[in-house]
Amino acid sequence: MKEKLLLIPGPSPVHPRIIHSLALPTVSHVGPEMVEELPKALENLRKIVFCERGEAFIIAGAGTLAMEMALLNTVAPGEKALILSQGYFGSRMAEIGRVFGLDCELLESPWGTAVAPEELEKKLAGSDFRVVAATHVDTATGTCAPIRDYAEILKKREAVFIVDGVCATGGIEERMDDWGIDVVLTAAQKCFGVPPGLAILVLSERAMEKRKKMPPLPAYYSDLLRWLPIMKDPAKYFSTPCVNEVRAFTESTLIILEEGLENRFVRHAKMARALRSGLEALGFTFFTQKEFLAATLSVINYPSGVEDKRFRSLYYENGVVVAGGLAQTAGKVFRMGHMGNLSPSQVYFALDALEQSLKTIGFDFSQGAGRRAAREILGD
Ligand code: PMP
């Protein structure tokens, strides 16, 4: 198998340290290794989302399970939830709620933009939403929502604020305590750079208090109160955690904390700027409006003369995997993830392979322009 650089919007490339941790022998899920490992992972996770108190959960599953758990454990029967959507995943959140008979209303923005804070404020006036959920970065549209501004508006109210950080947590700042976020849900395979397989949640003290007051849930595996004793003491059993994945996740949190959170957020923004500058120099434009561009992925319009399937298959042959557009953007854009532990040399490789692919297509561009533009930003 030829090695490829995985630049889809997750899973992202897996650092050798994380691969190594996955290769260690499987241990008992209730044994001393996990009793030591899981609390470490949970503590580091809370540091990454700036949550001093509150409870963290790491559970076998994926981002969609984390979405389901977040809703089910905070929206009580009869309560109304408002879901902000700037693309695909907000709509999924509302769909999940409806499957469980929860009263979920969608507030959508046109693709390429996010819901304006003023719109949220207007929507909340005179209403009694008890939960508000927002996607931090929508992976279909590449839009980064103004989460901090939403949180500021919600601070004055009682509503629990859920943030879907699947495409952001660990790569873009999310300060739970300071900003007033009650739930961050995420998954392993994006900014943490761990293979897929974990549903990850952090709940504020306020969200946990609410959960404890709720009637029994119409769920078993998704009930966080069934998981809480295991998070406190992994020697107890509820359902077998994926121990190798937990160890890999701990390793990813160590990499993140060694880099330093501020440095990591700055690096994500810098890699994004370098890649986008290189893409622009080669003649590409972006689907997402400028003020909403995300540090973790780009949604890139095809110029005329570049056909989706041919381009992506050539790019693949040249060593880089990117994703096609979703729903209304299918065939019109490609999506490139730039999250996790991406290095400048990987950025250069991606741009060089892009040029190689464009050359085969016969697309007109200035040779070496991508790398030159990226170098101006990366400076090495
Ligand atoms: N939310 C967002 C923002 C996502 O990008 C994704 C996955 N692309 C999900 C939720 C769902 O995660 P998963 O595919 O791991 O279930």
Based on the fold, state whether residues 234 and 181 are members of the same structural domain: yes
Going by alpha carbons, the residue nearest to atom 15 of ligand 1 is 63
**Domain closes at, from 259, 292, 313:** 259
Based on the fold, state whether residues 67 and 131 are members of the same structural domain: yes
Token readout for 1 is 């198998």
Residue 341 belongs to what domain range? 5-9+260-378
- Give the distance (Å) from ligand 1 centre to CA of residue 114: 17
Based on the fold, state whether residues 37 and 69 are members of the same structural domain: yes
Is residue 277's pLDDT more than 80? Answer: yes
Based on the fold, state whether residues 269 and 237 are members of the same structural domain: no
Looking at the chain, how many residues does it have?
A: 380
Based on the fold, state whether residues 27 and 99 are members of the same structural domain: yes
**Domain closes at, from 259, 278, 297:** 259
Distance, CA of 342 to CA of 200 (rounded, Å): 22
Based on the fold, state whether residues 331 and 295 are members of the same structural domain: yes
CATH number of 314's domain:
3.90.1150.10
Q: Indicate if the alpha-carbon torsion angle 362, 365, 368, 370 is positive or negative.
A: negative
Based on the fold, state whether residues 224 and 353 are members of the same structural domain: no
Distance, CA of 208 to CA of 186 (rounded, Å): 17
Is residue 1's pLDDT more than 90? Answer: no
Based on the fold, state whether residues 264 and 232 are members of the same structural domain: no
Based on the fold, state whether residues 224 and 75 are members of the same structural domain: yes
CB 361 within 8 A of CB 305: yes
- Give the distance (Å) from ligand 1 centre to CA of residue 85: 13
C-beta 227 within 6 A of ligand 1? no
C-beta 64 within 6 A of ligand 1? yes
Q: How many domains is the chain partitioned into structurally?
A: 2
C-beta 88 within 6 A of ligand 1? no
**Domain closes at, from 204, 238, 259:** 259
Predicted TM-score (pTM) of the model is 0.97
Based on the fold, state whether residues 24 and 61 are members of the same structural domain: yes
Q: Output the CA–CA distances (angstroms, integers) from residue 272 to 7, 17, 171, 296, 365, in the order listed.
A: 12, 24, 11, 7, 21
Distance, CA of 261 to CA of 256 (rounded, Å): 7
Q: What is the pLDDT of residues 19-56, one digit of tens each?
A: 999 999 999 999 999 999 999 999 999 999 999 999 99
Q: What is the pLDDT of residues 304-347, one digit of tens each?
A: 999 999 999 999 999 999 999 999 999 999 999 999 999 999 99
Q: What is the pLDDT of residues 244-256, one digit of tens each?
A: 999 999 999 999 9
**At 344, which amino acid appears?**
P
- Give the distance (Å) from ligand 1 centre to CA of residue 343: 24
Based on the fold, state whether residues 273 and 329 are members of the same structural domain: yes
Based on the fold, state whether residues 180 and 245 are members of the same structural domain: yes
